[in-house]
Amino acid sequence: MRKVSGLSRFNIASLTLGLAFLYLPILILVIYSFNASRLVTVWGGWSLRWYHEFFNDRAMIEAAWMSLKVALASATMATLFGTLAAVALSRGERFVGRTLFSGMLYAPLVMPEVITGLSLLLLFVALNAERGFWTVTIAHTTLTMCFVAVVVQSRLGSLDRSLEEAAMDLGCNPVRAFVAVTLPLIAPSIVAGWMLAFTLSLDDLVIASFTTGPGSATLPIRIYSEVRLGVKPEINAICTLVIGLIAVVIVVASLASKLSSEQGESAAPL
């Protein structure tokens, strides 16, 4: 720390406090996941007992698998639709109701999740749809699509329109120009949007609990119902695994976007 010049004591103190506030709880959770004791608050030595317990807990494993499937499917769908919406908003001709469309697209950003969840529940009931994997996936797609659209649209907005014009001038039709020039350049933001959608879906409790059905609980729902009966150290182990997964995904994504900006040569599907 001393080597970093220009940091006053106040800076160091506020930095330490801030980081501690953000990461100490997570660190404690991770450490206690290796606790041998049955009691969450009492340290009983190191052990992998609760991880073992989790991998033998069929209901929990099923919930985790369910969450993963929902997150993968909904993030992929949200990325597809969100990117299309962003392209329509920033590249398409000015169509009637454009402002209304962009307003409606971004509404889920500020809409309380309870309302989104409840309205989707009412819709599924009215349609007499069997609630389960697909209803949660659709609900999560609705929730996360706007985040993808925001991320992709900001990148599209900063992109020079004359790049597409140059591609057309050099013999591409408008679709080809988009695929050959625009898509490689917005790819990092599409990846970032997918990641955002994936993590949002993975940790969503409210909307999932409205739209899921019996026998297809997601991991947050499962954890929440367990915790109501008292916190088991097994929960700590699950949470540690989730944190690990998210950390890996984030590192991979940032490496990928760095790579694509450094040498995105192969990114152009010509």
Measured from the CB atom, is 40 or 168 closer to other proteins?
168
What mask of x and - would describe binding to other proteins in positions 184 to 203, judged by CB under 8 A? xx------------------
Site residues for other proteins, window 141-180 (CB under 8 A)? 160, 162-163, 165-174, 176, 180
Question: What is the total count of residues that contact other proteins (CB under 8 A)?
Answer: 23
**265 belongs to the binding site for other proteins (CB under 8 A):** yes
Q: Say how many C-beta atoms besides its own lie within 10 A of residue 243's C-beta.
A: 14
Q: In whole angstroms, how close is the CB of 156 to other proteins at the nearest point?
A: 14
Asked if 259 interacts with other proteins (CB under 8 A), we say no
List Cβ neighbours of 167 (8 Å cut-off, separation of 6 or more).
Answer: 176, 177, 180, 181
| Neighbouring residues of 270: CB distance < 8 A, sequence distance ≥ 6 | 180
Is the alpha carbon torsion for 153, 156, 161, 166 positive or negative? negative
Strand partners, 35: 46
Alpha-carbon span 138 to 127, nearest angstrom: 14
* Distance of closest approach, residue 157 Cβ to other proteins, in angstroms: 16
Residues 86-105 binding other proteins (CB under 8 A) are none
DSSP state of 265: G
Contact footprint for other proteins (CB under 8 A): 160, 162-163, 165-174, 176, 180-181, 184-185, 264-265, 267-268, 270
